[in-house]
Every structure is written in structure tokens, then in C-alpha cells.
Amino acid sequence: MTQYPHLFAPLDLGFTTLKNRVLMGSMHTGLEERGDWNRVAEYYAERARGGVALMVTGGIAPNNEGGVFPGAAGLYTPEDIANHRMVTDRVHAAGGKIAMQILHAGRYAYGPECVSASPIKSPISPFPPKELDEDGIEKQIADFATAATRAREAGYDGVEVMGSEGYFINQFIAKHVNKRTDRWGGSYENRIRLPIEIVKRVRDAVGPDFIIIYRLSMIDLVPDGSTFDEVVQLARAIEDAGATIINTGIGWHEARVPTIATSVPRAGFAWVTRKLMGKVSVPIITSNRINTPEVAEELLAGGAADLVSMARPFLADAHFVAKAEAGKSAEIAPCIACNQACLDHTFSGKLTSCLVNPRACAETELMIEPATHAKTIAVVGAGPAGLSAAITAAQRGHKVTLFDRADRVGGQLHMAATIPGKEEFTGLIDWFTRQVETNGIETRLGAAATAGDVANFDEVIIATGVAPRDPQIDGQDADNVLSYIDVLLHKKPVGDRVAIIGAGGIGFDVAEYLTHDGPSPTLDIALWQKEWGVADTEEHRAGLAPEGPQPEPPARHVTLLQRKSKALGKGLGKTTGWIHRASLKMKEVTMQGGVNYERIGPEGLHVTSGETRDDPRVIAADTIVLCAGQVSDRSLADALEAQGRVPHVIGGADVAAELDAKRAIDQGTRLAARL
């Protein structure tokens, strides 16, 4: 008997049956564009082997003008069809099902050929779209139908018509972009003509026994988006047009409300899907920030949806579903919703992977195979780099001993987990802790390892991490000066007025931590909605509260500083930096760049501006927190090298600059894979 009866209930679609209620949502990985179709096929097959009922591919363009960028993957030639056939064959052989997403980017396309309902440039692409005429619209509809026919020919079990997230179809539906006065614009009936026509024509093209998922924007989160009644009207029309399943879309990409970042509460938008339940008779999928079988089961049991879509959790663990089915939920590597190796990569033109699982999208490249000779391996440092190395080495059959001076594993992850909005890091620490236990790794915690401790091991891995950089500011040894470790780990008292020296990832985190008081909005959906101005679509069009964001007042007055003169937070994550900046702005954090730190006194921080050191002033502060970056802790590595040993040095101990858990885990895993 499964722990998750609703999650593992099959779903009969009439002409085919899904073996459970889990859909792997569409993710653009960049694999298709690389042309290594064996790698694409293995990426999907691995997830099919992991038990998910139905997967949706990354967006495949119906035509050149609809591609997200010039050269984006499409399904145009017999060769394309043969390539996709490799994917579908391998997924079917693994017992899975797969639907191809047809994604037309409209004005989000990053290319001069882009088209839309009206010639209004989007804030996220520099290219103004051409307004389509009647023939142009007919061509787009026909191209959707042709793409679906080819998808069927390539062996797919269905298609997903991407109608949400502000892409092409959504641009016709909402007045936010559609300013037309012909039969494709004006009234709501006219504006939803396009999605209805597309679904009808796709159904006519593929026949009755083929899955058509329509991804419907249920809360646009942009001005002039749809109301709840309009969403219901569209959903019914889409059902009548021939869709098999309706999937939930949340927010346009240009919305100024986070929708999938780690600070969004778990299942924080499931209420949006729930409102549509009972209004149509086709199954409905809910989505966004669902990352454990427990959350998924609760949603299904509570009637929020008929299926759940999870996307990034399948990067973190391809075997999510199989592990849940086997009652091994604690073994599932958790997606922490950081975006660091998935969306941030996609939006930087890099191949997608996963911070937690470097094998994601590297299934044919990064092999974790049994070692030919079992060795004894000492790993010093139980942060992300050391943990990953230790776990991977142990999985390969090596005998691993893990040392750390702290009395628990996790290293710097413990600091991240204290930040409001970063609670998911706790799950990652729990998972690492469990992996250490289940892989039989011996731990020696609570004392710093010496060269003598690691003398008799075949291999030594040094993952001793980093130490705070000493910024050498006059007066920094006074009692009113703390390090980020004092604040986040040792919980030393902090005054009402704070100056933070350094505005990197940690400076931003400390500012977030010090301006919050009381419960974290990430753990309280109502509070989070208030903070970001999200409203019920039944009361306010597009789900935007008319009063806008209403954050809790800041707990302290914080000034965040850096010496560089450029805007603060430029180096933060590509897809999440704006959230951190917006969040601190809401907490009235003062940001100052281009400063020189002259000295610290009891009254606060003395600074000047620019190379000429003018505008001397005092930033009045009760507490000054040093977040001035980090330097490698190589003391043990140096001691071993002085003895003629050659340790493997990874993570922050190797290179401190721009260290993050992504690089640490990747480096640790890759090293252990080849030892």
C-alpha cells in the first residue's frame, strides 16, 4: 500500500491511461539545440525509468518566427522527426509517455522576426514584434497544427499547447498586448479566438486518440490580464475545442511577482487551480513550487487538482516518483528552487543542469560507476563540496571517512537556511545528512582534522571551505562590529540601525535576515500574497491587488554598501536577482555604491565617495556587519603539501571567488566520479 494513494492512482483518459498523477512539466534545457540526440533521449529516458507518468518536452517552436531565439529547436524536416523519434522510442521502452510542447514565443522571441497580436515590445526582449495580419494569423494556426502532426509522426503521445506565461497565445488573450480591433481583438470572445482555433485545428490534425494538454494562464499577474470568469470561459471553450487536459500557467514572464523562486511558498499557487476544479470536465493539472510527494499528495487529496506538474524536481532527482512509490521519500534529492543551474543557465545561453544533481542533462557524460579498486578516502570538510565528494565516492564503493570541525554536516548551507525565503536549504541539509548515513560514510565531527588524522588514507580530499575576508577597516575590532557568521549562526544581538559592508550574495542575505521579523512569508501564503500584492482573480483582474505590495514594515533600518560604483546586486542570479533587489527595496534598505570605508566608530561607519574620497559622512549605525567576501581556507592542504602529499582540493578551499553550492557540488561529484 503506497503512502500516497492519490498520487499513485492511475488516470484513464479514455484512449490511454496515465499510470500515476505526476507530470514532468516543460523545461527548456538547451540539449535539443546541441544536436546530441542520444543525450536528449537519455535525459528523458532516465526520467521515464524514474516512474513519472507523462513528461512534457521543452518548448519546440512551430515556426522560425515563433522560436524563443533564432535557431531554437523546431520539428521541420524528416531528420528532425527522426531525431525526436529517438527520444520517444527510448521513453516508451522505459515505460514512459511523452508529449511535445509547442511553444510560440510571440513578442518574447529574442529575434527580429518576432510577431504578436500588436506591435508592442515586451520588457524582456529588445525586439519589437510585427503585428500579424489575417493571413499571418492563419499561418501561425496552421503551423501549430503541422507541428502537432509531426509530433505524432515522431512518436509522441501528445502535445502541450503553450497558452500561458505571456507567450504568443497569451498575448492575444490579454488586452495587455492585444490592441486589435478586428475579429482577433476587442471583446474577450475575439481575443480567445486564437487559442480555440489552435486547439480545434490541432485536434483535427492529430485525431481523437492523442493527448492535447492546453496550458492556460489562470492568473496573469500583469495589468489587463484575465478575470476569473474569463479564465473559466476560456477553459470551457478549450475543452469544447478538444483538449484532453488543462494545465495551469501562473504569471507572465514579465510579471513583477515571483512565481517559482525559492521564496515563493510551497504550492503557493495551487489555490488558483483549485478555483477551476468542477468548472470543466477534463482533468486539471496544478503547478508551481511543488517539490515533495507529501505536498503533491495533499493537493490531490484536498481536491486542488487531478494531477500535479513538477518540473525542476525532476532535474534534482530523475527517480522522484519511483522513490516516492517505494516509500523512500527521504531519499529524494530535493529541488531547492534556486534556479542557479537551471533557469539561470537557460537565460544565459548555457546548458541546463541542477545545483543538487550535476548529472541532470549530463546523463551520458557524468557517469557514477562502481570503482575498480575500493580505496580509503578521507574527505575533510562537510559542506556541499565535501559532502558531494564523500557521497559519490561511497556510492562507487570506496570506504569514506568524513571530517568536519563542526558537530554537524552542512557547512555554509546552515547559514543559507536561516534566511527568510531560503527555508528549502533545510531540506537539502536533511537530504545530505541522510545520504551520509545510508551510504555508510564514517563521520568524525566536532574536531578539526590534522595532517596526522588523514595520513593513512589512499586519497585525501580537502573541502575545508572558506573564511571571511578581513577588510582591514580601522575600528573593525570594536564590539559594534560583527561578521555574518556572528549574525546568522551565532545569533549575536544586532541593533536597530545596521550598516552592512559588502553587497554580494551574503550581504543581500544578511540584509534580508535583519529586516524581517516574525514568520517568514514563504511559510505563510496569505502573508506572502500581501507582501507581493497578489489577489484573488475573482476580486481583481489578473490577480493584482489594487493597493500593490504591502510588505511587513522592516524590523531594522539597514544600509547596504559596496565599493564598486555600479548598481548593487548586479552579480546575483540572472532570474532571481530582481526578486532580492525588489525585496530589499520593499524593506526600505538604503543602497550605496562607490563608497570608501574610512573607519568605524561608536557612532557608526565613516565613509567617503569615489576615488577623490569626497563627501565624507557617517552612516549612523548601532551595528556594522562585515560581509566583505571570503578567502580559501587552505591550511590543511598546505600542511599536507609541505609533507609531500598531493591532496585533492575542491570547493571554496580551491577557489573562494564566486563560490556557490552549485560549483562546490559539481566539483565534488566530478572528482569522486573519477577516483
List interacting residues with ligand SF4 (CB under 6 A). 312, 315-316, 335-342, 354-356
Residue with cell 545545483: 355
Exposed, middle or buried: residue 202 (CB in 10 Å: 0-12, 13-18, 19+)? buried
Q: What residue ranges bind ligand NAP (CB under 6 A)?
A: 469, 471, 501-507, 509, 562-564, 571-573, 627-630, 658-660
Q: Which CB atom, from 63 or from 576, has the smaller least distance to ligand SF4?
A: 576
Choosing from 167, 484, 513, 597, the catalytic residue is 167
C-alpha cell at 565: 560604483
How do beta strands 11-12 and 17-18 pair?
A: antiparallel
C-alpha cell at 651: 570547493
SS3 249: strand
Contact between residue 622 and residue 602 where contact means Cβ atoms under 8 Å apart: no
For 618, list phi and psi in degrees, rounded to 5. Answer: -115, 125
Contact between residue 377 and residue 675 where contact means Cβ atoms under 8 Å apart: yes
Q: Which CB atom, from 39 or from 587, has the smaller least distance to ligand NAP?
A: 587
Residue 335 interaction partner, one of ligand SF4, ligand NAP, none, beta carbon < 5-8 Å per kind: ligand SF4
Contact between residue 627 and residue 500 where contact means Cβ atoms under 8 Å apart: yes
C-alpha cell at 206: 492529430
- Mark whether 167 is an active-site residue: yes
Contact between residue 468 and residue 630 where contact means Cβ atoms under 8 Å apart: yes
Rounded CA gap, 275 and 222, in Å?
A: 19
Q: How many helices (H) and strands (E) does the chain have?
A: 22, 27
Rounded CA gap, 651 and 62, in Å?
A: 43
Contact between residue 378 and residue 654 where contact means Cβ atoms under 8 Å apart: no
Taking each helix axis from N to C end, the angle separating 193-206 and 134-153, rounded to the nearest 10 degrees, works out to 40
Residue 463 interaction partner, one of ligand SF4, ligand NAP, none, beta carbon < 5-8 Å per kind: none
Closest CA to 387 of 355, 361, 419: 355
Contact between residue 502 and residue 627 where contact means Cβ atoms under 8 Å apart: yes
Q: Which CB atom, from 581 or from 662, has the smaller least distance to ligand SF4?
A: 662
Closest CA to 625 of 421, 489, 422: 489
Rounded CA gap, 548 and 658, in Å?
A: 35
* Amino acid residing at 257: V
Residue with cell 552592512: 500
Active site residues: 167
